[in-house]
Structure 1
Amino acid sequence: MHARKTLGQHFLSDPHLLDKIVAAAELPPEASVLEIGAGPGLLTRRLAAVVRHVVAVELDDGLVTLLRRELAHLANVIVVHGDILKLDVPALIDAPYAVVANLPYYITSAVLRQLMQCVPPPFRLVLTVQREVAQRIVAAPGQLSVLAVSVQFYGQPRIVMRIPAGAFVPPPQVDSAVLRIDTYERRPVDVPSPEDFFRVVRAGFSQRRKQLHNALSTGLGLSAEQTIAVLSAAGIASSRRAETLSLAEWAALTRALTRLQLQSP
C-alpha cells in the first residue's frame, strides 16, 4: 500500500494513537459515524466496534477496493467511494451522527465549512489536522481568523492531543493535532442570520492590516459615517482590528448593521 501524494495521504497505523483518537471522540453506542478518508481501514474497525453504524468515505480507488474486501464481514460498515466535498452528507447518514477524519491538509477548511453548514450538523467532529491549523481554530480574541470565528460560531473546539509527524507513513513535514469540536444545539450568539453574520466577518477580515472601520467600509460598501455609526452602536472602537473582536462583538456588529439597513430609506 503506497500513499498517493496527489491526494495528500499520510496513514496513521500506531494502535495506541488510533485507540486514543476513538477514546477522545467519546462516541455513544447509538451514534452513527461518518469517517472521511478511511485509508486502509484501521480506524474504521475501531469505530465499528463502538458505534451503531459507520459510513467510511474514501476517494482512492485502490483503497476502496481494499476496504470493501477487508471490511466485508462488518455488517455495520458501509464504504462510499467519492469526494466528500461533492457528497450530500445528510443523505449519507442518519442523525445523530459524528464525524471522524484524518483530513488531507489542503481540504481542511473546505470540509469544515461544508460540515458546519449541514442540516442537521454532526453533533461532534474529531479531526486529525495540521497542528498549526488546529491552533488557529482554537485561538482567542487577539489572534482570531475567519476560520476560527467560523468554527467557534457553530461549535466549541479544543485540541485533545498532538501527533508527531513521525507517527504517519509517509511522515508529513509538520506535526498534526487531533481537534474535537462539539457543535452547539443553540448558537452562543444571537444574529439575524448566519449569512449576515459571515458577510460582516468576511468584510472585517478582508483588509487585516487596516483598522476595522476601513475594512468594513470597503467590504460592505458603507460610507465612513455609516461605518462609524454601526461600530458605535455595537460598542466597538473604530480603531480595533478584526482579529481582536470576540464572537459576541461580531454578533453585536451584525445586529447593528441590520438595524442601520432597516432604518435606511
Structure 2
Amino acid sequence: MVRAAGATGRRPPREWSREAVSGAATPRRPRAPLDLTKPATVRAVARRSGLTLKRRLSQNLLVDPAALAAIVEALDPGAGDDVLEIGAGIGTLTVALAARAHRVVALEVDEACLRATAITLRGHANAIAVRLDVRQADPDALGLGPDYLAAGNIPYHLTGAILTRLLEEVRPPLRAVFLVQREVAARLTAPAGDWSLATVAVRSLATVERVADLPPSAFEPPPAVHSSILRLVPSPVLGSAERRAVLEVARAAFQMRRKTLRHGVTRAAGGDAGLAAAALEAAGLDAGRRPGTLDLDEWRALATALEARRRSPAR
C-alpha cells in the first residue's frame, strides 16, 4: 500500500478541531471554579496543600450549599462592604462572601489552610487570607472600612473568647454571623429564666438571633456536635463601667448557679450577708431566686444597688 507523501497513517488527536487542522488556534476553555461544598473537592484541596484537618483546632469544613447560602444571606454583604472572616479554612465561605462584598480579609492561623487558600482564592482579587489570630487583630491595621461586617466558621472551643474580643472591640463590626455549637447558640438566645454568664456577657453588648441549626453531616469531616448559625448585631445597652459592675456580680452568682441569689450576691459582696440582703431588697429582687432567672435589666438594678450600698455607710 502506497501512502501519500507526509502522511503517517495516524488519526489526528481528538482535541483537534477543524480550526486547528486548518491552522487556526482553538481558545482554551476557562477553568471552572472549584465547588468547595463537594467533599471530594475538599479532600483534593487538602491533599494538594498538605492539610490534615485537626480536631483540636475545630477544623470541620462546611460542605452544605444551603447552609453556606444561609450564612451569606444572614450577613447580607453589599458591594461596598468589607468583611472580616474569622477562620478561613480552605476558603469556602471566603469565596462565597467575595462574590457579594467589596473586600474580604480572612484570618487563619494554620499554615496548611493558608496554602489551601492560595489555591482556592485564585481569581478572587477582592479576597485575601492573612496569618493572624483574631485575638490580636486590629480592624484599622487590616484596612477594614468603618462599617465592616464579620463572619466565620469559628473554632468552637474559642467561641467565648472570640465573641468577647470582637464585641468589646473599640470598633466592633456592624453585624456578624458565625457558626457555633448548637448548645452555645441556645444559651446565648435563651429567654429569661434560663440565662448563663455567657448570656449576660454577650446580650449586654449585642442582640442575638439563632438563624438555623445544622447537623454534623453539613461538615467534612462531621463533628461530634450539632451546630447553629448565629447572627449578632452589636448594640451595647450598658456603659463600660456599668457592664463591668454587672459582670462582677453575675460572675460571682453564676459560680454558685444552683444556689440562690442570697448566696451568690453575698459572695459578690465579699461575704457581707447584710450588704447583699440590702442590695437585693433595694433592687426589688427575691433573695430566693436563681441567677439564671434574672434578665439584663434586673442584673443592672442589682449591680447598681450593690454599688450604692457599698458607698453608703448606713444600710
Q: TM-score, normalised by structure 2?
A: 0.78
Cα pair 1:38 1:44 within 8 Å, conserved? yes
Structure 1 unaligned residues grouped into runs of 5+: none
1:132 equivalent in structure 2: 183
Structure 2 counterpart of 1:83: 133
Question: Which amino acid is 2:56 matched to?
Answer: T
Match of residue 64 from structure 2? 14
Aligned to 1:217: 266
3-state DSSP of counterpart to 2:285: coil
> Shift in Å at residue 84 of structure 1?
2.0
Could you tell me how far 1:76 is from its partner in structure 2?
2.1
* CA RMSD after TM alignment: 1.9
Look up the match of 1:159.
210
Alignment CA distance shift 1:126-1:3 (3 Å): same
Identity value in percent: 37
Partner of 2:156: 105
Greater Rg over alpha carbons, structure = 2
- Equivalent residue number for residue 37 of structure 1: 87
Distance in 2, matches of 1:54 and 1:227, equals: 49
What SS does structure 1 have at the residue aligned with 2:141? helix
- Structure 1 residue 149 displacement after superposition: 1.1
State yes or no: 1:231 paired with 2:280.
yes
**Is residue 59 of structure 1 aligned with residue 87 of structure 2?**
no
Aligned runs of 1:235-254 on 2, under 5 Å?
235-254=284-303
Q: CA deviation at 1:138?
A: 0.4
Q: Which one scores higher on RCO, CA 8 angstroms, separation ≥ 6?
A: 1
Instruction: Give the Cα separation in 2 of the matches to 1:215 and 1:181.
Output: 29
1:193 aligned counterpart, secondary structure: helix
> Conserved in 2, the CA contact under 8 Å of 1:90 and 1:119?
no
What is the CA-CA distance between 1:86 and the residue it aligns to? 3.4
- Work out whether residues 242 and 300 of structure 2, in 8 Å CA contact, stay in contact via their aligned partners in 1: no
Shift of 1:38: 0.9
Structure 1: how far apart are the matches of 2:194 and 2:87? 30
Q: CA deviation at 1:172?
A: 0.5
| 1:144 paired to 2:217 | no
Alignment of 1:23-34 (within 5 A): 23-34=73-84
**Amino acid of the structure 1 residue aligned with 2:184:** V
Structure 2 unmatched ranges of 5 or more = 1-45, 47-51
Structure 1: 4+ residue segments shifted above 6 A: none
Report how far residue 156 of structure 1 moved: 1.0
> Partners in 2 of 1:100 and 1:64 — Cα distance?
18
CA distance in 2, matches of 1:263, 1:26: 50
1:118 maps to which of 159, 169, 189:
169
Normalised by the length of structure 1, the TM-score is 0.92
Match of 1:172? 223
Task: Rate the CA distance shift 1:9–1:211 in 2: closer, same or farther, 3 A.
Answer: same
